[in-house]
Amino acid sequence: MKIRKDDTVLVIAGKDKGKKGSVRQSLPKESRVVVDGVNKVKRHMRPRGTVRQAGIIEREAPIHVSNVMLLCTKCNQPTRVSFRFLEDGSRVRVCRRCGEVID
């Protein structure tokens, strides 16, 4: 996965297209991410069992990583990501626009 928790991403498809937000959760198995304030769905909760909060609550639903682009922390542009290996063998992400290491 090119997107990780706490990354800032730009939504490029869907009803929240153009929104920016930080990644709250990444779900690598499903190739999805939960982004703050993006893809909100209303859920009707009933006070049952452990759920204390009743009524209609809004929460973010996961969206597919192909619908977001990583915002580079260096050049502040939405970018695609490539990988590079450092001398110590660790893998880092690299911005394809400015060539800077993002991690």
Determine if 72 is a binding residue for Zn ion (CB under 5 A).
Answer: yes
d(C-alpha 91, C-alpha 84), whole Å? 6
CB 39 → Zn ion: shortest distance, Å?
25
CB 56 → Zn ion: shortest distance, Å?
40
CA distances in angstroms from 2 to 61, 65, 98, listed in the order given:
19, 8, 17
Sign of the dihedral defined by the CA atoms of residues 73, 74, 77, 83, in that order: negative
Let me know: does 92 contact 103? Beta carbons within 8 Å.
Answer: yes
Residues that bind Zn ion (rule: CB under 5 A) add up to a total of: 6
Determine if 2 is a binding residue for Zn ion (CB under 5 A).
Answer: no
**Segment near Zn ion (CB under 5 A); pick from 28-36, 40-48, 57-65, 89-97:** 89-97
Residues that bind Zn ion (CB under 5 A): 72, 74-75, 95, 97-98
